[in-house]
Structure 1
């Protein structure tokens, strides 16, 4: 066992689980709101695909830079105070949108998104290992799936809420902006960009109130073991360095390609639909289709793990589905192709719940730094949309071929990690 809760907390982890599920709803809302902001900023600032995808880059790259500092912060503050701090920073990141809208600054919007990403890095570094170890490690995927339902439910409702606020009559508004000039364009941008103010002020208030709630909530702290010991041939071998856990780094790379695949299926599906000639007012809802697939997968995971399926086997099945659905999406067109991109949500559903506990297993006192290294892998979501845009716009590949070339290697590596990568360096595993 890698870590334990304080004795009183062993009686029940219902309150921590419910609290963390609420946090996962927040993560989902903010993360998937960026999927709506991509076409919104593309419309408002007349951006190319590559420029608009910087929204995802700013958010996900924050995980790469802030995950390790987050581990240090959590060492100083503990899990609960780290969560409180993360929520406050998340609120501040959203408030940056107000001066960004007033100044018509896409760069300042990206700054606000990066700050929010930094807050999410701290929060994710705190809650993912916490969720894994508040109960038996072999059922961690079940608990993460429960939290994932909250996360993806938030993502499902975001396109309807944010889409209604930011993308109503998107085609008509975009035409007006492109046709306008001078003072007329400034006034139009004031109206369009000003739509972000009230939603993000409300979100900032909600996050602050939730931070206060958690501050006074009795959440047990995790007590990690001091050493990690392997029994090899009857001889105890202590591990004293995080670099003695190769399965952790293979897991971080697996998180990298998984998040890349998830962003391609969730955030990029709207752009993919538009490339197929589907109207923007319809394509803006495609993200909800992907997230519905993920929600179904989570429910399956809750029912089957670990009673019928191990975490490793569930991950293998999902990776194979990802490969199959990618091939079919490439081989078809129109709404059929979009449906199979959405079905990648089903394939992706149990990947994070399985990859994360497999990556941090047997880390003992290294649980916080190990979690941070795993969270760094979320940067895959920053890189892959740009790779897709490069393949499509600079290399000149057909958009479907570019998509296929971008996502297929992700699922192949995930299959490798599910089969053998998660066991590398673990004696007797």
Structure 2
């Protein structure tokens, strides 16, 4: 099973590389002399693609298959990374390339989340999706480290913020080849969905509230990835230390939290895990509002652990309500990833108003909503199955 699903887990790992656009935006801000608000357009260009292409991606997955959509996403990502790998383009062209990267990553998310259900034993979907999201978190953490490590190598040092792009391009190409030879038995639908039938699901309150929850969660996570480094630098840390103790530690704790979540879900229901995660995420964001360096460092760790399992828990809880509409729900939930484009703009505007640490009221408010959402009732979740031997 592991060897068969390894290309899928590799695709999840590469989804996390898009998170490098947040920390990398700080270098691009210097290179292109941008304001805080303008620099958020880098992550905006990735995440706005989710708003435009997620629902069509869900429809396309149902029509051509999830594997083909994974291949399309990986191919688009590789193409998007070529131009910045070979030249220094104007900022507008960079945003275009990053938007294309967002389109490819959208397709990876839309296809990757439901295809995990196809390869999971009954009752193990939440656990396996948490593990896959942990691997995605590893990609997020690795992407931040890769950007720092590559920029220090002599062969890439002159490329500055572009140094990681050739490496990411090669990884996308290797993943494309791996998925190409993958055999997956996909669950089929009798009648392919349409964009209209997908959007009609928003008429059901449970799905609408969940989509808003994903929108705010991703926005809060993108805001952390973008602003943790400059926040810690304001405390007197040098650039490398601030990058490590900020986005790198945050994404590493995301990874650890998701891997722990996969184990915890063998004994805890997804809804209970969702509630505990939302509470911890809120406490971490609130600690960052304090303006205290020790509390902020603790807040980075707590926020990473709290943010870790929001996506797999909320996604799986929602999909299990209507598993026969998994492709459409995946498109809607991935459309909500566009929160990563909108919410950081709000936080960037507050930072430009010199509000300092108080700007973290934005992710704190997002997690206050998620905590309230987690306390809503729902149909009882099935008891977790014991882990099966491979």
Q: What TM-score do the two structures reach when normalised by structure 2?
A: 0.87
Q: What is the rounded CA distance, in whole Å, between the counterparts of 1:137 and 1:386 in structure 2?
A: 40
Residue 284 (1) aligns with residue 272 (2): no
1:406 to 362, 367, 370: 362
Q: Which runs of 5+ in 2 are unaligned?
A: 193-198, 382-390
Tell me which residue corresponds to 2:342: 383
Residue 266 of structure 1: how far off its partner (Å): 2.8
Residue 46 (1) aligns with residue 33 (2): yes
CA contact (8 A) 1:38 1:53 kept: yes
Q: What is the rounded CA distance, in whole Å, between the counterparts of 1:35 and 1:109 in structure 2?
A: 14
Q: What is the rounded CA distance, in whole Å, between the counterparts of 2:92 and 2:291 in structure 1?
A: 38
Per the alignment, in what secondary structure is the counterpart of residue 65 of structure 2?
helix
Tell me which residue corresponds to 1:106: 91
Q: What is the rounded CA distance, in whole Å, between the counterparts of 1:168 and 1:401 in structure 2?
A: 37
Residue 255 (1) aligns with residue 214 (2): yes
Shift in alpha-carbon separation, 1:135–1:242, aligned structure 2, 3 A: same
CA RMSD of aligned residues (A): 2.8
Residues 205-354 of structure 1 mapped to structure 2, 5 A cutoff? 205-224=170-189, 242-243=201-202, 245-285=204-244, 286-305=246-265, 307-354=266-313
CA contact (8 A) 2:40 2:226 kept: no
Per the alignment, in what secondary structure is the counterpart of residue 345 of structure 2?
helix
Map Cα deviations across residues 268-327 of structure 1 (whole Å, 9 max, x no partner): 21121123332223112121111222122123212220x321000001001111222223
Residue 212 of structure 1: how far off its partner (Å): 2.7
Residue 56 (1) aligns with residue 43 (2): yes
Tell me which residue corresponds to 1:158: 143
Q: What is the rounded CA distance, in whole Å, between the counterparts of 1:108 and 1:192 in structure 2?
A: 22
- Deviating more after overlay: 210-219 vs 375-384: 210-219
* Structure with larger Rg: 1
Shift in alpha-carbon separation, 1:69–1:266, aligned structure 2, 3 A: same
Q: What TM-score do the two structures reach when normalised by structure 1?
A: 0.79
CA contact (8 A) 1:254 1:414 kept: yes
CA contact (8 A) 1:140 1:353 kept: no
Residue 32 of structure 1: how far off its partner (Å): 2.5
Q: What is the rounded CA distance, in whole Å, between the counterparts of 1:281 and 1:364 in structure 2?
A: 45
Residue 59 of structure 1: how far off its partner (Å): 0.7
Q: What is the rounded CA distance, in whole Å, between the counterparts of 1:422 and 1:63 in structure 2?
A: 27
Shift in alpha-carbon separation, 1:16–1:360, aligned structure 2, 3 A: farther
Q: What is the rounded CA distance, in whole Å, between the counterparts of 1:47 and 1:368 in structure 2?
A: 39
Shift in alpha-carbon separation, 1:296–1:198, aligned structure 2, 3 A: closer
Map Cα deviations across residues 40-93 of structure 1 (whole Å, 9 max, x no partner): 101111111111111111111111111012123223321111111111111011
Shift in alpha-carbon separation, 1:421–1:408, aligned structure 2, 3 A: farther
Per the alignment, in what secondary structure is the counterpart of residue 392 of structure 1?
helix
Tell me which residue corresponds to 2:105: 120
Q: What is the rounded CA distance, in whole Å, between the counterparts of 2:67 and 2:356 in structure 1?
A: 45
Residue 368 (1) aligns with residue 327 (2): yes
Shift in alpha-carbon separation, 1:48–1:423, aligned structure 2, 3 A: farther
Tell me which residue corresponds to 1:18: 6
CA contact (8 A) 1:263 1:385 kept: yes
Tell me which residue corresponds to 2:387: none
Residue 335 of structure 1: how far off its partner (Å): 4.0
Map Cα deviations across residues 113-159 of structure 1 (whole Å, 9 max, x no partner): 11000001111100111213532564322112211222222222223
Shift in alpha-carbon separation, 1:298–1:107, aligned structure 2, 3 A: same
Residue 419 of structure 1: how far off its partner (Å): 1.9
- Deviating more after overlay: 131-140 vs 112-121: 131-140
Shift in alpha-carbon separation, 1:243–1:198, aligned structure 2, 3 A: closer
Residue correspondences, number: 374
